[in-house]
């Protein structure tokens, strides 16, 4: 996406709220990556946390953010001009043997083993904890942001993500800013 197309794209998606969105997400190179951040936060991140918070009122809920930065790309397709990182579906080659993606590196294969072990523990017991990983607490909506634990899953140590800040959750979820959502 050329830089000149960023503001028109935001204007088209967010209409009357364009000024607030552009102030929160000023153009950074590359423009496509900046627009991807806007869309990720408004369409995926904020609604996902809203859903997890609602679910946590009724059932044991854990939330994660797959945050690995060096992920396999789609086999046979040209790579984008910027790092794709943890884009939509990036965790799938770590969990399933799919020909759709490039082969995992040894470091990626290690993360795959860790993810599969956590998912297996969760399927067997309802609790993903164990295997030497940091504790992954339940998400609780009864204590406000302090209870909104989102585990960041990477090839490094797993820890709590600063999800609310990183994805501008309050901007997309408080008051009349709900109308920013595309």
Per-residue pLDDT of the chain (182 residues), as tens digits, is 899 999 999 999 999 999 999 999 999 878 988 999 999 999 999 999 999 999 999 999 999 999 999 999 999 999 887 778 888 899 999 999 999 999 999 999 999 999 999 999 999 999 999 999 999 999 998 777 788 999 999 999 999 999 999 999 999 986 444 445 44
d(CA 137, CA 63): 9
CA dihedral 72, 76, 78, 84 (to 10 degrees): -20
DSSP for 113-161, please give it: HHHHHHHHHHHHHS----TTPPP-PPP-STTGGGG--EEEE-SS--EE-
Q: What is the pLDDT of residue 174?
A: 62
Structure tokens that stand for 132 in this block: 């030497």
CA distances from 141 to 60, 85, 107, 173 (A): 11, 29, 35, 15
3-state DSSP assignment of residue 130: coil
**pTM score of the predicted model:** 0.86
* CATH classification number, 3-180, choose in 3.40.50.1820, 3.40.50.300, 3.40.640.10, 3.40.50.10680: 3.40.50.1820
Q: What is the DSSP letter of 90?
A: T
How many other C-beta atoms are found inside a 10 Å radius of the C-beta of residue 75? 12
User: Where exactly are the structural domains of the chain?
Assistant: 3-180
Whether the CB-CB separation of 37 and 25 falls below 8 Å is answered with yes
**Do 151 and 159 meet the contact criterion of CB atoms below 8 Å apart?**
yes
| DSSP state at residue 88 | T
């Amino acid at each position: 996406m050329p830089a000149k197309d960023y503001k028109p794209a935001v204007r088209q998606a967010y209409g009357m709220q364009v000024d607030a969105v552009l102030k929160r997400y000023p153009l950074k190179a590359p423009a496509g990556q900046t627009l991807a951040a806007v869309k990720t936060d408004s369409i995926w991140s904020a609604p996902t946390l809203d859903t997890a918070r609602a679910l946590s009122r009724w059932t044991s809920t854990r939330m994660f953010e797959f945050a690995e930065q060096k992920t396999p790309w789609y086999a046979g397709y040209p790579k984008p001009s910027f790092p794709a990182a943890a884009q939509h579906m990036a965790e799938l080659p770590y969990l399933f043997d799919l020909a759709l993606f490039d082969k995992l590196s040894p470091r990626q294969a290690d993360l795959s083993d860790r993810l599969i072990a956590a998912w297996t523990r969760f399927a067997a017991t309802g609790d993903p904890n164990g295997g030497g990983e940091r504790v992954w607490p339940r998400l609780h909506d009864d204590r406000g942001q302090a209870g909104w634990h989102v585990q960041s899953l990477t090839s490094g140590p797993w820890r709590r993500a600063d999800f609310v800040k990183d994805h501008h959750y309050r901007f997309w979820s408080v008051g009349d800013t709900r109308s920013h959502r595309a």
